[in-house]
């Protein structure tokens, strides 16, 4: 059900003939393939058929290949042919032919290693070995094509043990422990011992509790300590601080190393809202401090409702950062809480902010008691530009490839077009993709064009009937379901995250199975099927909604980070208003996610015809955390008093 406007249409004669030709080739019917290919000589996908014919001959017909490259000098399929052609030479030991045709613009790690091997095999050994270091000293495994040149280089005078030590650190930074362990085979003495401890500390940071394991006679041990601390900070910054106190004065850490370690630990404590976090962050040397330190000082102050400190820390941000919507909102919210600025000044700033179509703009609008600003400005493109882009060869090929279900090749053609276009062209391309129903590409193109105000393109409503039925079934607003899908996948049915989440609403397989079991349906269907994905995603979201007392902010956070984490965040905080609770979510990703989804929800309320879209419903404007019922009255009175001072104007 990908791109319904294209894929579900009946195939044209040329499209069907193209598929028949490929099927004939697959079945070994070369004469049939040649005949069908000849009948499609004027078809936009004919280069793909010519490519298949060249490939059939195992890239032996050099003249045909060179003619193809001249005929189609700047096409996706030409790029593919060049890579495959070059890769065929090493298999036949044709090293000089490889060098004669090598193109540095076709960079891949495999081709680069073939290039180094070709240099070595054709008498340029020194040139090859000099360049091998850059291919080996990386934090990920190399292609097998690199093994022969690596084997020579590792026993040459060009190799130094420092390279292997650096590779261990790079591999661990990418969590590639097997590569790190393998790289220790090329180390000796102190470096080997320290690298082994670094790997051990990576797997079990608790070993930092022992000083004996990290002898000061080995200066490289400080690297193992630093790496272990980085690992421990992620979940237990308080333990990391205790370990750091044990080791800090045992080694000759540089001032910069000390600052980086302490900043990382103190920020970790700030994310857990440790009572000493602000004091510790304040102890860091100013010359090394980053905006991130100041931002977490602000969040800690917000968490403590220390409004004077909120103002103080915001005013230490760079001028550009201070004017960002988030800190602009909190700057004047803090003023309002203290009656520091005249109400007129505060209202002027909130009024200015309320004109933005954003999470903070919507917050400002609701504080002022006015409607949300939901400006819609369609992409400003002429009919001529639209037609020009629509008729680009790459776009025509992408359209045909999509129609026959060749998605990966279509994506490559599309990207070739993107790389050639200016801002006007990208806006036109966004309109083309939107017309096709290729929404994730439309959204990406309009963002690349830096045009944020076309709500039809940025916030489409595909599968509206399916979302509507699901919303009715689970008793949730369909605007919220759309917002989740928009944030999760930008409506890419085939989306898959690096963690393994799949489909429109990005469900993890285990979560999908559990949800299917709870609602009594089969878990055998594909998560790439939109109807199935929406049904499970909406059901899981409904479970989160009920668990968190029908508060979309909390349920949205749980959808992203998991319900147990949200439980812990609520329990660890004192009573907080919802805007402060969201701003102080410990995870950067989840904080951004919740803000985006709530803002997107408001936009979808508008798009779906709701008269007065809202960022928060009344029952969601509550105080969250321990003892919230007891502690919220005074805070609520302060809020009401502050808002009343604006309303009085």
Residues serving a catalytic function are 488
CA-wise closest residue to 577 among 633, 499, 496: 633
Backbone angles phi, psi at 310, to 5 degrees: -55, -50
361, 351 contact by CB (below 8 A): no
36-51: b (≥16 Cβ within 10 Å) or e? bbeebeebbbbbbbbb
Three-class DSSP labels, 433-462: HHHHCCHHHHHHHHHHCCCCCCHHHHCCCC
642, 635 contact by CB (below 8 A): no
Backbone angles phi, psi at 575, to 5 degrees: -60, 125
User: How far is Cα 235 from Cα 634, in angstroms, rounded to an integer?
Assistant: 34
Sorted by sequence, the CB contacts under 8 Å of residue 63 that are 6+ apart come out as: none
Q: Calculate the dihedral angle through the C-alpha atoms of 359, 363, 369, 372, rounding to the nearest 10 degrees.
A: -10
CA-wise closest residue to 21 among 8, 30, 12, 10: 30
User: How far is Cα 175 from Cα 552, in angstroms, rounded to an integer?
Assistant: 35
What are the DSSP calls for 25-42, one per residue? HHTT-HHHHHHHHHHTTT
Lookup: tokens for 294: 């100041």
Sorted by sequence, the CB contacts under 8 Å of residue 328 that are 6+ apart come out as: 322, 349, 353, 360
User: How far is Cα 267 from Cα 452, in angstroms, rounded to an integer?
Assistant: 33
The CA-atom distances, in angstroms, between 490 and each of 4, 441, 461, 591 are 16, 9, 11, 18
Q: How far apart are the first and last CA of the chain?
A: 54
Neighbours of 341 (CB within 10 A): 17
In DSSP terms, 623 is beta-bridged to 577
The residue whose two tokens read 């049904």 is 535
CA-wise closest residue to 7 among 503, 399, 532: 399
User: How far is Cα 508 from Cα 500, in angstroms, rounded to an integer?
Assistant: 6
**Which helix (H) or strand (E) element contains residue 147?**
helix 147-154
- Can you say whether residue 175 is alpha, beta or left, with left for phi > 0 and alpha for psi between -120 and 50 degrees? left
513-541: b (≥16 Cβ within 10 Å) or e? eebbeeeeeeeeeebbebebbbbbbbbbb
Sorted by sequence, the CB contacts under 8 Å of residue 94 that are 6+ apart come out as: none
Q: What is the largest CA-CA distance in the chain?
A: 86
Lookup: tokens for 322: 């201070």
């Amino acid at each position: 059900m990908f791109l319904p406007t294209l894929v579900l249409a009946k195939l044209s004669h040329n499209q069907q003939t193209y598929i028949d030709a490929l099927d004939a080739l697959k079945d070994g019917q070369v004469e049939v393939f040649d005949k069908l290919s000849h009948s499609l000589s004027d078809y936009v996908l004919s280069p793909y058929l010519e490519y298949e014919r060249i490939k059939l001959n195992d890239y032996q017909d050099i003249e045909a290949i060179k003619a193809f490259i001249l005929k189609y000098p700047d096409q996706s399929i030409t790029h593919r042919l060049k890579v495959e052609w070059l890769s065929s030479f090493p298999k036949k030991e044709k090293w000089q032919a490889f060098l004669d045709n090598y193109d540095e613009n076709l960079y891949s790690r495999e081709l680069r290693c073939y290039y180094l091997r070709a240099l070595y095999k054709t008498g340029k050994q020194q040139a090859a070995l000099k360049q091998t270091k850059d291919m080996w000293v990386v934090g990920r495994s190399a292609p097998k094509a690199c093994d022969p040149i690596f084997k020579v280089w590792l026993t040459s005078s060009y190799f130094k043990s420092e390279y292997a030590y650096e590779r261990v650190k790079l591999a661990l930074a990418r969590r590639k422990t097997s590569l790190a362990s393998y790289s220790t085979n090329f180390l000796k003495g102190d470096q080997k011992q320290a690298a082994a401890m670094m790997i051990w500390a990576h797997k079990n940071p608790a070993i930092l509790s022992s000083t004996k394991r990290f002898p000061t006679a080995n200066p490289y041990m400080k690297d193992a300590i630093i790496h272990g601390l980085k690992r421990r900070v992620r979940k237990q910054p308080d333990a990391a601080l205790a370990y750091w106190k044990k080791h800090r004065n045992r080694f000759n850490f540089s001032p910069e190393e000390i600052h980086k370690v302490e900043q990382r630990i103190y920020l970790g404590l700030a994310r857990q809202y440790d009572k000493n976090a602000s004091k510790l962050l304040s102890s860091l040397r100013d010359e090394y401090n980053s905006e991130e330190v100041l931002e977490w000082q602000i969040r800690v102050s917000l968490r403590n409702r220390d409004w004077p400190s909120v103002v103080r820390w915001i005013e230490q941000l760079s001028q550009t950062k201070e004017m960002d919507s988030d800190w602009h909102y909190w700057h004047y919210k803090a003023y309002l809480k203290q009656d520091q600025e005249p109400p007129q000044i505060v209202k002027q700033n909130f009024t200015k902010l309320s004109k933005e179509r954003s999470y903070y703009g919507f917050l400002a609008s609701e504080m002022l008691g006015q409607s949300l600003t939901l400006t819609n400005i369609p992409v400003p493109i002429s009919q001529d530009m639209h037609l020009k882009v629509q008729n680009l060869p790459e776009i025509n090929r992408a359209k045909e490839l999509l129609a026959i279900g060749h998605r990966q090749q279509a994506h490559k053609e599309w990207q070739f077009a993107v790389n050639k276009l200016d801002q006007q062209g990208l806006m036109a391309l966004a309109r083309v993709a939107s017309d096709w129903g290729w929404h994730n590409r439309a959204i990406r193109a309009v963002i690349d064009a830096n045009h944020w105000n076309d709500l039809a393109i940025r916030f489409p409503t595909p599968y509206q009937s399916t979302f509507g039925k699901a919303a009715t079934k689970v008793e949730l607003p369909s605007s919220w379901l759309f917002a989740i899908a928009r944030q999760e996948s930008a409506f890419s049915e085939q989306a898959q995250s690096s963690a393994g989440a799949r489909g429109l609403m990005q469900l993890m397989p285990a979560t999908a199975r559990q949800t299917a079991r709870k609602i009594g349906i089969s878990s055998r269907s594909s998560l790439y099927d939109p109807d199935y994905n929406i049904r499970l995603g909406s059901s899981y979201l409904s479970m989160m909604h009920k668990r968190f007392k029908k508060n979309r902010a909390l349920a949205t956070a749980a959808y992203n980070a998991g319900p147990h984490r949200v439980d812990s965040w609520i329990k660890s905080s004192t009573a907080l208003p919802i805007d402060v609770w969201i701003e102080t979510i410990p995870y950067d990703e989840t904080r951004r996610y919740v803000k985006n989804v709530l803002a997107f929800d408001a936009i979808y309320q508008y798009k779906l015809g709701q008269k007065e879209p809202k960022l928060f419903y009344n029952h969601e404007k509550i105080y969250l955390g321990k003892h919230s019922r007891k502690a919220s009255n005074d805070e609520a009175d302060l809020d009401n008093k502050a808002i009343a001072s604006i309303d009085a104007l």
